[in-house]
């Protein structure tokens, strides 16, 4: 199989790439601003630039790669992801109560980010292989087991937010291909039962606090409810045009926790105001529209499903992150794609967009 090949750059989806790199630019600007309050080293920004360099190389390489390569090795890529998810439970480093990182020479690698790509690839492979016979029980339960295997390993870390994202990728693709409604209703019932089991047997006390505080932020305003309160204050204080980069009192004075990752949306809202967040949401919406349009126009089931899976994954992460910043959803630690600080997330997301571009160029 010929892996790399030349192609006509005129066929490249430049609007999609432009949207992605505009989001990255917004993220780098926000990370730089947050870094200013933490000294002159700018450690967050430097590490993110390293991740951007690696991600860009993978983005270009994936764009040059034949789409059949990703389809041929989807199963093996998924299995490698499962091995990494199991391995991190044994050899990984615990950060904020979650054993989800490998430490590699001063850099942290989070395998769950790679698992999101692995799940999308294997589901696209299976969906394509079923020849649109999606009414069969084997299809629904088989694909569910595939996604659940990865999600279960993630729950053991425990990382509830990422496990939910993996589940939403599978659920979104099932709705997209049009499985029977009885399957969907049955899954929802099982999910509710599983949620009860997870609450009592898997969630750590701090994770339960996040959910309880979401229901009632005033339950512990100076403790577990502090993060939500500060995020909402930061967004509100930005008003229409923000306080200016480096002048956000909540983020610069460290009232806003994890301003470079979980709450970067609030930091942007405070310093760039409604105008800044609206522009970012607009760019993100445009990127998602391009992905959906690519999926719709694809001549190949694998390409269409993969692009749809990427769109679902990015949309789910966006909703979960922004919802948490606005106090509409529990805080789960899910990053804002292309914007939040986090090398693993940025590298894998750029790799996914590169694979989509490979399919676009070759009309796959």
pLDDT digits (tens, 9 = 90+) for 218-241: 555 555 566 777 777 778 777 888
In a domain, 66, yes or no: no
Please compute the mean of the pLDDT values over residues 263-286 and round it to a whole number.
91
**Predicted local confidence at residue 5, as pLDDT:** 60
Helix H or strand E encompassing 99:
strand 98-104
- Helical segments of 130-225, H only: 137-155, 160-177, 181-201, 205-215
pLDDT class for 40, splitting at 50, 70, 90? low
Give the CA angle between residues 27, 323, 170 to the nearest 5°: 90
Would the pLDDT of 209 be above 80? no
**Predicted local confidence at residue 235, as pLDDT:** 80
**Predicted local confidence at residue 243, as pLDDT:** 80
What is the C-alpha separation between 123 and 363, in angstroms, rounded?
20
Lowest average pLDDT, out of 30-44, 50-64, 114-128, 151-165, goes to 30-44
Would the pLDDT of 214 be above 80? no
What is the C-alpha separation between 281 and 267, in angstroms, rounded?
14
**Predicted local confidence at residue 352, as pLDDT:** 98
In a domain, 28, yes or no: no
Q: Which residues form the domain of 131?
A: 77-337
In a domain, 275, yes or no: yes
In a domain, 169, yes or no: yes
Q: Pick from 148, 135, 118, 121: which is nearest to 174 by CA?
A: 135
pLDDT tens digits, residue range 305-336? 999 999 999 999 999 999 988 878 877 788 99
Exposure letters 238-264 (e unless 16+ CB within 10 A, then b): beeebbebeebebbbeebbbbbbbbbb
In a domain, 171, yes or no: yes
Q: Pick from 360, 364, 363: which is nearest to 12 by CA?
A: 360
- The number of distinct structural domains making up the chain is 1
In a domain, 262, yes or no: yes
pLDDT tens digits, residue range 78-112? 999 999 999 999 988 887 778 888 887 777 889 99
Helices (H) and strands (E) in the chain, counts: 14, 3
Mean pLDDT of the chain: 86
Better pLDDT: 174 or 94: 174
CB 302 within 8 A of CB 125: yes
In a domain, 281, yes or no: yes
* Residue 123: DSSP 8-state: H
In a domain, 37, yes or no: no
Which residues, including other chains, have CB under 8 Å from residue 20's CB and lie 6 or more apart?
Answer: 287, 338, 350, 353
**Predicted local confidence at residue 58, as pLDDT:** 97
């Amino acid at each position: 199989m010929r892996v790399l090949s030349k192609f006509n750059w005129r066929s490249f989806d430049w609007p999609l790439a432009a949207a992605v790199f505009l989001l990255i630019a917004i993220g780098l600007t926000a990370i730089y601003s947050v870094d200013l309050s933490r000294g002159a080293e700018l450690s967050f920004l430097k590490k993110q630039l390293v991740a951007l360099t690696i991600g860009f190389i993978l983005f270009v390489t994936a764009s040059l790669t034949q789409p059949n390569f990703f389809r041929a090795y989807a199963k093996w890529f998924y299995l490698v992801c499962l091995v990494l998810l199991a391995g991190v439970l044994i050899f990984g480093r615990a950060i904020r109560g979650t054993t989800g990182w490998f430490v590699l020479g001063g850099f942290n690698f989070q395998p769950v980010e790679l698992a999101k790509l692995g799940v999308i690839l294997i589901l696209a492979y299976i969906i394509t292989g079923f020849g649109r016979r999606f009414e069969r029980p084997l299809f629904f339960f088989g694909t569910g087991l595939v996604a659940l295997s990865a999600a279960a390993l993630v729950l053991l870390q425990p990382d509830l937010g990422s496990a939910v994202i993996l589940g939403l990728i599978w659920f979104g693709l099932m709705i997209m291909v049009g499985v029977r409604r009885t399957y969907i209703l049955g899954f929802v019932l099982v999910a509710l039962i599983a949620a009860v089991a997870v609450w009592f047997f898997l969630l750590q006390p701090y994770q339960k606090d996040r959910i309880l505080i979401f229901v009632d932020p005033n339950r512990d305003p100076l403790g577990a409810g502090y993060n939500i309160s500060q995020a909402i204050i930061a967004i509100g204080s930005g008003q229409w045009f923000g306080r200016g980069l480096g002048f956000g009192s909540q983020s610069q004075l460290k009232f806003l926790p994890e301003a470079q990752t979980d709450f970067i949306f609030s930091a942007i809202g405070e310093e760039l105001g409604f105008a800044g967040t609206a522009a970012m949401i607009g760019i993100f919406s445009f990127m998602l529209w391009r992905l959906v349009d690519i999926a719709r126009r694809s001549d190949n089931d694998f390409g269409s499903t993969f692009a749809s899976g990427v769109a679902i994954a990015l949309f789910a992460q966006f909703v979960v992150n922004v919802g948490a910043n606005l106090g509409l959803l529990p805080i789960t630690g899910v990053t804002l794609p292309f914007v939040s600080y986090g090398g693993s997330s940025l590298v894998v997301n750029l790799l996914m967009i590169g694979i989509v571009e490979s399919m676009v160029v070759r009309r796959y």
